[in-house]
């Protein structure tokens, strides 16, 4: 299911965009849900990373689309952002928040359909390739491919990516359930490794970029077998 939010303070524009989305959904047999917000603050204030695409009007009364996008990007680096505007010059600002596209007003279905083809293809490629981490202050969406490994430290679950380390309450089994079937394996009881991010294997250790994690004797055979299968599938 493709989950879309529209943030638009003009009711006519929001209704037309919603009609276009449902028309596209019917033409392509694609299951889509649409939620309409009349202001960026309504979406950003209690944002949860549950959306796949956000259509954001740039010019709104309280919190404009560009500032809404900046706030959301801090919580959700993976959601697809599409701006709605009647001024093409805003396209340059869109690079700041990694916007995927712009839709110019007045809306036209043929132009919209071309853009939706690209967005739907992108969604299909990344479907089920992210998880939501329940951090203490917020929920955060993280791309599965960005995870290097996870470990337990002082009774907290630590998820390590190339850019950051996230800490939350939980156990490794919680993350194992979230990434089941996506190329993860335990090298010992304390570490869950993203096999696609392995850069080398030594006698009793596995290297993942700058990290070196021990491989326990009881898990070594299964870990190496799963690593070989994963790398073979990638090739």
Statement to judge: residues 170 and 118 lie in one domain: no
Statement to judge: residues 154 and 94 lie in one domain: no
Residue-level pLDDT at 102: 83
Count of structural domains within the chain: 2
Cα–Cα separations (whole angstroms), residue 220 to 183, 184, 187, 202, 232: 16, 14, 7, 11, 18
Q: What is the 3-state secondary structure (H, E, C) of 177-198?
A: HHCCCCCEEEEECCEEEEHHHC
Question: Does the structure show a pLDDT above 50 at 62?
Answer: yes
Stretch (H or E) spanning 102: strand 101-104
Residue-level pLDDT at 151: 95
What CATH number is attached to the domain comprising 220?
2.40.50.1020
Statement to judge: residues 35 and 61 lie in one domain: yes
Nearest C-alpha neighbor of 158 from the set 140, 175, 137, 146: 175
Statement to judge: residues 154 and 105 lie in one domain: no
Nearest C-alpha neighbor of 197 from the set 180, 216, 217, 183: 183
Statement to judge: residues 85 and 181 lie in one domain: no
Q: What is the pLDDT averaged over residues 57-80?
A: 84
Statement to judge: residues 122 and 214 lie in one domain: no
Nearest C-alpha neighbor of 118 from the set 28, 40, 48: 28
Statement to judge: residues 73 and 122 lie in one domain: yes
Residue-level pLDDT at 90: 57
Peptide bond into 128 cis (omega under 30): no
With contact defined as beta carbons under 8 Å apart, do 171 and 180 qualify? no
Statement to judge: residues 90 and 104 lie in one domain: yes
Confidence of residue 105 (pLDDT cuts 50, 70, 90): confident
Q: For helices 109-126 and 11-27, what crossing angle results, to 10°? A: 60
Tokens found for residue 215: 């491989």
- CA 64 to CA 39: how far, in whole Å? 8
What CATH number is attached to the domain comprising 107?
3.40.50.2300
Confidence of residue 21 (pLDDT cuts 50, 70, 90): very high
Residue-level pLDDT at 212: 96
With contact defined as beta carbons under 8 Å apart, do 192 and 175 qualify? yes
Helix ranges (H only) for the chain are 11-27, 40-44, 65-75, 91-94, 109-126, 172-178, 217-234
Confidence of residue 88 (pLDDT cuts 50, 70, 90): low
Q: For all residues of the chain together, what is the average pLDDT?
A: 87
With contact defined as beta carbons under 8 Å apart, do 216 and 188 qualify? yes
Torsion of CA 81, 83, 88, 93, to 10 degrees: -50
Statement to judge: residues 220 and 138 lie in one domain: yes
With contact defined as beta carbons under 8 Å apart, do 193 and 213 qualify? yes
Statement to judge: residues 136 and 81 lie in one domain: no
Q: Tell me the per-residue pLDDT of 160-202, one tens digit each, with 9 for 90 and over.
A: 998 889 999 888 999 999 898 889 999 999 999 999 999 999 8
Domain range for 226: 130-234
Nearest C-alpha neighbor of 82 from the set 59, 97, 100: 100
Confidence of residue 135 (pLDDT cuts 50, 70, 90): confident
Statement to judge: residues 102 and 24 lie in one domain: yes
When computed from its CA atoms, the radius of gyration of the chain, rounded to whole angstroms, is 21
Residue-level pLDDT at 75: 84
Last residue of a domain, one of 93, 126, 159: 126
The pTM (predicted TM-score) of the whole model is: 0.59
Last residue of a domain, one of 95, 126, 157: 126
Statement to judge: residues 98 and 12 lie in one domain: yes
Last residue of a domain, one of 126, 150, 166: 126
């Amino acid at each position: 299911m493709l989950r879309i939010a529209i943030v638009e303070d003009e009711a006519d524009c929001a209704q037309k965009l919603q009609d276009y989305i449902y028309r596209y959904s019917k033409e392509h047999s694609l299951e889509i849900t649409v939620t309409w917000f009349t202001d960026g603050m309504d979406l950003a204030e209690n944002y949860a990373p549950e959306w796949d695409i956000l259509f954001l009007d740039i010019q709104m009364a309280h919190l404009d689309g560009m500032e809404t996008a900046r706030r959301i990007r801090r919580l959700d680096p993976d959601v697809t952002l599409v701006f709605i505007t009647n001024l093409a010059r805003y396209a340059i600002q869109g690079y700041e928040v990694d916007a995927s596209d712009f839709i110019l007003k007045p809306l036209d279905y043929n132009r919209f359909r071309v853009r939706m083809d690209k967005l739907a293809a992108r969604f299909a490629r990344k479907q089920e390739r992210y998880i939501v981490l329940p951090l203490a202050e917020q929920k955060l969406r993280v791309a599965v491919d960005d995870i290097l490994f996870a470990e337990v430290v002082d009774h907290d679950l630590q998820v390590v990516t190339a850019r950051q380390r996230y800490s939350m309450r939980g156990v490794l089994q919680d993350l194992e359930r979230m990434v089941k079937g996506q190329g993860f394996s335990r090298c010992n009881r304390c570490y869950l490794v993203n096999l696609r991010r392995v850069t080398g294997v030594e006698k009793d250790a596995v290297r993942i970029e700058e990290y070196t994690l021990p491989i326990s004797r009881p898990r070594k055979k299964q870990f190496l077998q799963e690593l070989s299968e994963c790398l073979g599938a990638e090739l």
